[in-house]
Chains A and B, each alone.
Chain A
């Protein structure tokens, strides 16, 4: 398991690994928004939490099809499935590797990019917390989507269509935490809902992903 995680991380940071793809996409979105809607603080501040969350979500979505498709193409997914590792563990490690290489950099960069969108002062902490809680759910749900379409040529479009509706609850509650935080309101309810979504997906989806992967490997 540890070896698989280290291998996936090493593959991600080497040339052509796609590390930084999500991060640069996130950067581009947040840099472009003030150009499009105008630099006025009164316009930017209310939409900042939502824009940052949409940017993070799309950045995650962008790198999902690499999670399993690359291993499928070079045949190592077949070999992993015949190795003495449980398939549930393999997909969990894959999701964790995706989170470390995509989700975690987004969480770290979001407060810095909040400055570009004139995010109000109290919002930084809650933006950080909501992304830290929400991005693991994005990675796990995305791994499930990747398992659904593994083996399909150009499955990326189908996967986006399958995964986006599943991302909606995370987006709603994540952006709500950040918005309420920015406006100085109580964040407890959306924060608990977001934590519930994350822990629920973490607990259940690896089993679902392993089950569909077994069918897709036939």
Chain B
């Protein structure tokens, strides 16, 4: 579903990761690990198509639904309105399963600006369900979630995998998912190159 073929990524013109290869099939999940600043976010943004890879090929980028550090919620819209917008943007149908999966039914009419950080996060993750895309690319999805919500999230991911989806997740906690591989990005760290410093200006 998603294939990375010796992909190199750069951040602000500086190479951060080199030669990352990865194949993600139906029902599989890969957890990215690595210390802060090791390039997990940059790799995920590249996979999502927000920036081109410096080298290598990515196949299946059009199947990706991406969730970054920010939830992309509009504070003056209600939870249901926020989700309904993404439903029409992605051409899918229903927000109710997404609200139910993250236990947001009672909050459907509350404005996103009046929600707690954890509730916003849950709403941001519920967006993944309404995209209808098979490959989920998630960057630190469990930040500000409590234990119960992490459980809801893990269940949403495993349901998604059961339906034949795939997931690429950068996280530091153990989600307890079946059929999960871990990819530590530390060995792929790019060596500083002499020419690299000029790249941003050329």
CB pair B77 A11 closer than 8 Å: yes
Asked whether A185 is an interface residue with its Cβ less than 8 Å from the other chain, the reply is: no
Question: B81 contacts which chain A residues (CB < 8 A)?
Answer: 7, 10
CB pair B86 A11 closer than 8 Å: no
Question: A84 contacts which chain B residues (CB < 8 A)?
Answer: 89-91
B62-80 interface with A by 8 A CB criterion: 64-77
Question: B49 contacts which chain A residues (CB < 8 A)?
Answer: 81-82
Asked whether A203 is an interface residue with its Cβ less than 8 Å from the other chain, the reply is: no
A51-74 interface with B by 8 A CB criterion: 73-74
CB pair A82 B66 closer than 8 Å: yes
CB pair A83 B74 closer than 8 Å: no
- Chain B proximity of A133: nearest CB distance (Å): 32
Which residue from chain B places its CB closest to the CB of A85 in the assembled complex? Answer: B89
Which residue from chain B places its CB closest to the CB of A3 in the assembled complex? Answer: B88
Total residues of chain B contacting the partner, CB 8 A? 29
Measured CA separation A16–B45 after assembly (Å): 31
CB pair B66 A78 closer than 8 Å: yes
Which residue from chain B places its CB closest to the CB of A14 in the assembled complex? Answer: B76
A174-191 interface with B by 8 A CB criterion: none
CB pair B89 A74 closer than 8 Å: no
CB pair A82 B90 closer than 8 Å: no
CB pair B71 A75 closer than 8 Å: yes
Total residues of chain A contacting the partner, CB 8 A? 24
CB pair B76 A17 closer than 8 Å: yes
B1-39 interface with A by 8 A CB criterion: none
Measured CA separation A50–B59 after assembly (Å): 56
Using a Cβ cutoff of 8 Å, how many contacts connect chains A and B?
71
Question: A76 contacts which chain B residues (CB < 8 A)?
Answer: 70, 72-74
Asked whether B50 is an interface residue with its Cβ less than 8 Å from the other chain, the reply is: yes
Question: A37 contacts which chain B residues (CB < 8 A)?
Answer: none
Which residue from chain B places its CB closest to the CB of A81 in the assembled complex? Answer: B50
Which residue from chain A places its CB closest to the CB of B85 in the assembled complex? Answer: A7
Contact of B74 among A74, A81, A217, A218 (CB under 8 A): A74
CB pair A83 B89 closer than 8 Å: yes
B81-114 interface with A by 8 A CB criterion: 81, 84-86, 88-91
Measured CA separation A17–B81 after assembly (Å): 16
Measured CA separation A2–B50 after assembly (Å): 23
Asked whether A132 is an interface residue with its Cβ less than 8 Å from the other chain, the reply is: no
CB pair A10 B77 closer than 8 Å: yes
Asked whether B51 is an interface residue with its Cβ less than 8 Å from the other chain, the reply is: yes
Asked whether B48 is an interface residue with its Cβ less than 8 Å from the other chain, the reply is: yes
Contact of B50 among A7, A10, A15, A217 (CB under 8 A): A217
Once A7-B77, A11-B77 are accepted as A-B contacts, the answer to whether A79 and B72 lie under 8 Å apart by CB is yes
Question: A79 contacts which chain B residues (CB < 8 A)?
Answer: 66-68, 72, 86, 127
Contact of B76 among A4, A15, A82, A83 (CB under 8 A): A15
CB pair B50 A83 closer than 8 Å: no
Question: A218 contacts which chain B residues (CB < 8 A)?
Answer: 50-51
Which residue from chain A places its CB closest to the CB of B50 in the assembled complex? Answer: A217
Q: 8 other contacts beyond A11-B74, A75-B70, A81-B50, with CB at 8 A cut-off?
A: A3-B84, A3-B85, A74-B70, A75-B72, A76-B73, A82-B50, A84-B89, A218-B50
**Selected A-B contacts with CB under 8 Å, 7 pairs:** A7-B81, A74-B74, A76-B72, A78-B45, A79-B68, A84-B89, A85-B89
Interface on B for A, CB 8 Å cutoff?
A: 45, 48-51, 64-77, 81, 84-86, 88-91, 127, 131
